[in-house]
Amino acid sequence: MQKTPDTQRSEDKRRPGRNIWLLAMGHFANDTYSGFLAPLQPLLMQQIGYSLTLAGLLTSIQSVATSIMQPVFGLITDRLRRPYLVILGPLVTALFIGTLGLWRSYWGLAAIILLGGLGTAAFHPQAAALAGQASRTRRGMNMSIFVTGGNAGHALGPLIILTVVTLWGLKYSYLTMIYGLVVVAILWRLLPRELPQAKQGARLPLRWSILKSGRFHALFLVWFVVFARAFIVAAFLTFGPIYLTQQHFSLMVAGSANTIFELSGAGGTILGGILSDRIGHKPVILISLLGALPFFWLFLQTSGMVSLVLLGMAGFFLYSSISVNIIMGQELFPEQAGTISSLMMGLAWGLGGLCITPLGAVAESKGIAFALQWMMIILMLAVIAAIFIPSAHKFRKADAQTLL
């Protein structure tokens, strides 16, 4: 018996758990390709011939495409009733980023990174909005599952691409497209055809709510924490492998350091999401930032395999509040979930990536270790901002009064 559209939508609403795992799978696949560039930088620098500053510029170009363009797609997301961008995004990312190893021109490489990054920009706002809407009782846990999918994909990306280029050569990077196309087909087949609508009675006008009760102030503080974290993550992912090769690690081990960093972060993200549902958002953010600080510092003071363990612990703490920040932003503006998600996952991370270009210039003149030491100052500024984030209780109370 063929299902009617109404029957299909009813079944989709009863499957929030399945939808979360589908979104996490799409996030995993999409961000796998985003993890290709950093570990390939040493090989691409040899093949094409470019400096550390231009290496930082490639990271910044990727950040502009994947992150800073997200608000554009976020605005589109809040008006869509079908999950087109969740499916189109990974498709574009796989088709373009899979060709990284084929290019012999720096600017051709930069163009492919830009185009592939637009697929990532299209995917994230709509997928994050759907993840936040899946459940009202386990929002932290659900968002952490979604975010962890992306973190795990980005973490395993280096291993996947390094395995391919080690076995067959850099020009065979296009083989990685196959995986992305399979995931896109699964999403097309199993995701709900229509998206859930938020309750209209709970709508708070953006122009009013952004001004009232210190809401904009709170959003900026949450956003700054995300930006600072993004800058730190981008710095270590971009220059960490190069720093470790200078410390006499092999290319495979140095590239795998990013995997250790991000897989540890994936575990931290899950734990942080679960804790946020129990003890609140702000405590988790403070624990995350304060816990990461000593491990980053110790990583830069040590050598050998112990430094990789310390880097993993730093990633575990730093990543643990990523999903919490997204949920906090969505709770401030529930009717603009796509736009807010794009600000948290896109603009903040994009600007953090842009800061890698001047950091690359500092690394070239003063050394990579010196440049990475500056990340400790950025982390301390994030701690200060987190301390002053207002309690979410006052905003929920203000919303209730507005709706009366």
DSSP annotation string for 330-356:
HHHSGGGHHHHHHIIIIIHHHHHHHTH
pTM for this model (two decimals) = 0.73
Fold topology of 13-403: Growth Hormone; Chain: A; (1.20.1250)
- For tokens 């994030």, name the residue: 382
Which tops the pLDDT comparison, 204 or 249?
249
Residue 155's Cα: distance from chain center in Å?
11
One-letter identity of residue 374: W
Structure tokens at 170: 């850099």
Torsion of Cα atoms, 112 then 33 then 285 then 202, to 10°? 80
Q: Is pLDDT of 124 > 60?
A: yes
Which is nearest to 97 in space by CA: 168, 186, 55, 160?
A: 160
Give me the percent of the chain exceeding a pLDDT of 90. Answer: 20
pLDDT band at 166 (very low <50, low <70, confident <90, very high): confident
How much is the average pLDDT of 335-348? 74
Label residue 9 by pLDDT band (50, 70, 90). Answer: very low
- What average pLDDT does the chain have? 80
Tens of pLDDT, residue by residue over 18-54, are 788 888 899 999 989 988 888 888 888 888 888 777 8
Residue 373, C-beta contacts closer than 8 angstroms, at least 6 positions apart = 300
Residue 193 has what pLDDT? 65
- Cα–Cα separations (whole angstroms), residue 193 to 5, 31, 131, 145, 402: 9, 23, 15, 22, 33
270-319 pLDDT per residue, tens: 888 888 888 888 899 999 999 999 999 999 888 878 888 999 999 999 99
Distance between CA atoms of 157 and 258, rounded to whole angstroms? 9
Residue 186: how many CA atoms within 13 Å on its side-chain side? 17
Per-domain residue ranges of the chain: 13-403
> In the structure encoding, which two tokens stand for residue 42, read together?
């040493």
The answer to whether 94 touches 181, Cβ cutoff 8 Å, is yes
Supply 304's token pair: 């050998």
Q: What is the DSSP letter of 345?
A: I
- Is it the case that residue 350 has pLDDT exceeding 80? no
> What is the share, in percent, of the chain residues with pLDDT greater than 70?
83
What is d(CA 278, CA 331) in angstroms, rounded to the nearest whole number?
16
Say what the pLDDT of residue 292 is: 93
**8 Å CB contact between 237 and 38:** yes
CB 402, CB 202: distance < 8 Å: no
